[in-house]
């Protein structure tokens, strides 16, 4: 024997006005929360993008420190808040090329005298201890860094297009300072100039 089961259909007219209002309020609240979350994410993205950059190493000029295919996080405001230091790995606009950036190591600052002799780099007659380079440079020369410019070299000294070939870089062309390698994961490395370049005593 089948039981008679009655179902009730409630029309909108039977729903209390207070319940309708709470449903509409909940929907509007959800939309507002979603919009606020999206706006906050956008603001954070723009802020992070303004302060940092992500760059990919494309060539061999910084071997063995940096390898092609590695990704670096770059501090865009490093030199707006402080001065460049010898040993910093910097990203800058390539000389004469608007849409290309280079990665090199900063060796000389404004007023410095950079000299390369017998495979050793000297800054203001002080030899630099550089265990990170691929080989000792096979070239010689002396450069006086003009005001407002810097002198840069690749760590792969004998296979790098850098200041020993085409001269100085305006400080205004520096995009930022490389902070660390973040990809591939097994290559994560913090790039500290103070731990890398130190004058021989």
CB 47 within 8 A of CB 156: no
Q: Which residues are catalytic?
A: 61, 104
Q: How far apart are CA 89 and CA 98, in angstroms?
A: 20
């Amino acid at each position: 024997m089948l039981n008679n089961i009655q179902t009730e259909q409630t029309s909108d007219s039977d729903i209390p006005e207070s319940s309708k209002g709470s449903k509409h309020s909940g929907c509007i609240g959800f939309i507002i929360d979603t919009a606020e979350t999206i706006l906050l994410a956008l603001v954070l993205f723009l802020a992070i993008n303004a302060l940092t950059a992500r760059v990919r190493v494309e060539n061999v000029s910084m071997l063995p420190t940096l390898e092609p295919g590695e990704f670096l996080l770059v501090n865009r405001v490093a030199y707006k808040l402080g001065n460049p230091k010898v040993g910093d790995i910097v990203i800058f606009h390539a000389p004469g090329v608007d849409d290309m950036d280079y990665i090199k190591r900063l060796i000389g600052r404004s007023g410095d005298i950079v000299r390369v002799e017998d495979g050793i780099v000297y800054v203001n007659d002080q030899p630099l201890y550089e265990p990170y380079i691929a080989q000792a440079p096979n070239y010689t020369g002396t450069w006086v860094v003009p005001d407002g410019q810097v002198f840069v070299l690749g760590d792969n000294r004998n296979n790098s297009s850098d200041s020993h070939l085409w001269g100085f870089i305006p400080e205004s062309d520096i995009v930022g300072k490389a902070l660390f390698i973040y990809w591939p994961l097994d290559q994560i490395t913090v790039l500290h100039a103070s731990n890398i370049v130190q004058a021989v005593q």
